Amino acid sequence: MGTVVCKTTDIPVGGSKAFETEGEKVLVFHLEDGFYATQARCTHLFMSLEKGKVMEGCNVQCPFHRAQFDIRTGEVAKWANFPPGVQLLNAVRKEKALKTFPVQVQGDDVVVG
């Protein structure tokens, strides 16, 4: 069924916005080829991705430890690598993909779920 979270004009291409849907906080991204949704927290240390940078292509970079995830699939593109020494923590915090959610555009509405 899904939840209408915004209008297609609410998020510019290359941008993202956080929403609450069905009890879960999600980030909706507007890429060149459409809209995508992922969980709103990085899987490394569960920090917010809301201020994450959308990198060239289709990755979002966590602003804290610079882990990068493919927005379309949730897969890890690059695991946490900042600041120096965070790699020691990575021995315990193994790579884990972001959860993704189906997105549909229905008229001018962006629907997640």
Ordered by where they begin, the domains of the chain are 3-107 (2.102.10.10)
Exposed, middle or buried, 47 (CB in 10 Å: 0-12/13-18/19+)? Answer: middle
What distances in angstroms separate CA 12 from CA 7, 9, 93, one per listed residue? 11, 7, 33
Model confidence pLDDT, tens digit, residues 11-27: 999 999 999 998 899 99
Q: What global pTM score does this model have?
A: 0.90
The contacts of residue 64 (CB under 8 Å, 6+ apart) are 42, 44, 45, 47
For residue range 70-105, list pLDDT tens digits in order. Answer: 999 999 999 988 878 777 777 777 899 999 999 999
The answer to whether 61 and 67 have CB atoms below 8 angstroms apart is yes
